Amino acid sequence: MDGLPSSLTYHFWDGGPDFPADPANCGFYVVPYMKGAAVSVRPLEHMTRLRVVQTLTAGIDHVSPAIPRLPAGTRLCNARGVHDASTAELALALTLASLRHIPEFVRAQETGNWHPGMYEALADKSVLIVGYGAIGSAVEDRLLPFEVAEVTRVARSARTTPRGSVHPLASLPGLLPHADVVILCTPLTEDTRGLVGADFLGRMKDGSLLVNVARGGVVDTKALLAELESGRLLAALDVTDPEPLPEDHPLWRAPNTLITPHVGGPTSAFLPRAKKLLRAQLRRWAAGEELEHTVAVAE
């Protein structure tokens, strides 16, 4: 990478078994991308002089368990903004593909079968976005040109935005029965783990679509399977629990289900945005300035 502060010394670690330098001398740790939780936290116990942990993901669930063991004052920063465009694109693609039965047409093409008919459109649908942060807002940006009837926003706490109100999580029971499409963008926290369980799913209207571009653990897989196998709901999932999804898992064969292998973030849009973030954060750190996107501080 060019454009980095010359006052710092850099070492590249790709998550391999050997470290390129003594981790004890590391002050600013950029977590290797897409290497899994075990690799992500492995050097942390040796980083006794650590001041910053910078993830390249919006979610921090793969490193958050290590926060209590970090040196006091160490900042954990996420990659807010890096994945907004890519993840929102996929959320829209999954929604359209599921509603318009694109997987069915792909399978029909392989056998030369013609399947005309009447199918659902995104236009005039009511969409509920659960997790209205940067990614949730980017999803709404892409929904509006498709002439949806309504976008309802839900986040951890209520607030007002230029586009309208954001409802708290506690409002979900009253909002779910009115949504044609529910898009999950929320981070995985203790409050959201298993949020989409039997009660949540049971309140969704018949024939509605659940789209998950958040984390697999937000959804109770057993409860979702029950709804899918009954034929009452549809699902489009970029993330699952467990993940990777074993080849013999019943979710692969559930009716009205579209699955992609956690590809919301890793696209051609990732690298330039990740580099921009790291340049900005390292310049601030080298200059003794406040970092952006701090989500936790070790005590």
Q: Average per-residue pLDDT in the chain?
A: 96
Query: Which of 45, 147, 150, 243 is labelled catalytic?
Result: 243
* Cα–Cα distance for residue pair 121/45, rounded to 1 Å: 51
What is the pLDDT, as a whole number, of residue 228? 98
Q: What percent of the chain clears pLDDT 90, i.e. is strictly above it?
A: 98
Query: Max alpha carbon distance in the chain (Å)?
Result: 64
Residues 6+ apart with CB under 8 A from 16: none
Question: Active site includes 262?
Answer: yes
Backbone angles phi, psi at 263, to 5 degrees: -115, 20
What is the pLDDT, as a whole number, of residue 162? 92
Query: Which of 42, 153, 262, 293 is labelled catalytic?
Result: 262
Residues 67-99: tens digit of each pLDDT: 999 999 999 999 999 999 999 999 999 999 999
What is the pLDDT, as a whole number, of residue 185? 97
Residues 169-179: tens digit of each pLDDT: 999 999 999 99
What is the pLDDT, as a whole number, of residue 42? 96
* Cα–Cα distance for residue pair 80/133, rounded to 1 Å: 9
* Cα–Cα distance for residue pair 61/59, rounded to 1 Å: 6
What is the pLDDT, as a whole number, of residue 188? 92
Is the peptide bond between 242 and the residue preceding it cis, with omega within 30 degrees of 0? yes
What is the pLDDT, as a whole number, of residue 6? 96
Ordered structural domains, the chain, with CATH: 23-82+268-297 (3.40.50.720), 84-259 (3.40.50.720)
Query: Which of 101, 215, 273, 293 is labelled catalytic?
Result: 215
Average pLDDT (213-236) is: 98
Q: How large is the angle between the packed helices 84-99 and 102-111, nearest 10 degrees? A: 60
What is the pLDDT, as a whole number, of residue 243? 94
Question: Active site includes 104?
Answer: no
- Per DSSP, the three-state class of 52 is strand
What tokens were used for 47? 């980083």
292 dihedral zone (left: phi>0; alpha: psi -120 to 50; beta): beta
What tokens were used for 233? 């709901």
Average pLDDT (17-26) is: 96
What is the pLDDT, as a whole number, of residue 244? 94
Angle subtended at Cα 263 by Cα 178 and Cα 155, rounded to the nearest 5 degrees: 35
Residues 246-298: tens digit of each pLDDT: 999 999 999 999 999 999 999 999 999 999 999 999 999 999 999 999 999 99
* Cα–Cα distance for residue pair 259/240, rounded to 1 Å: 9
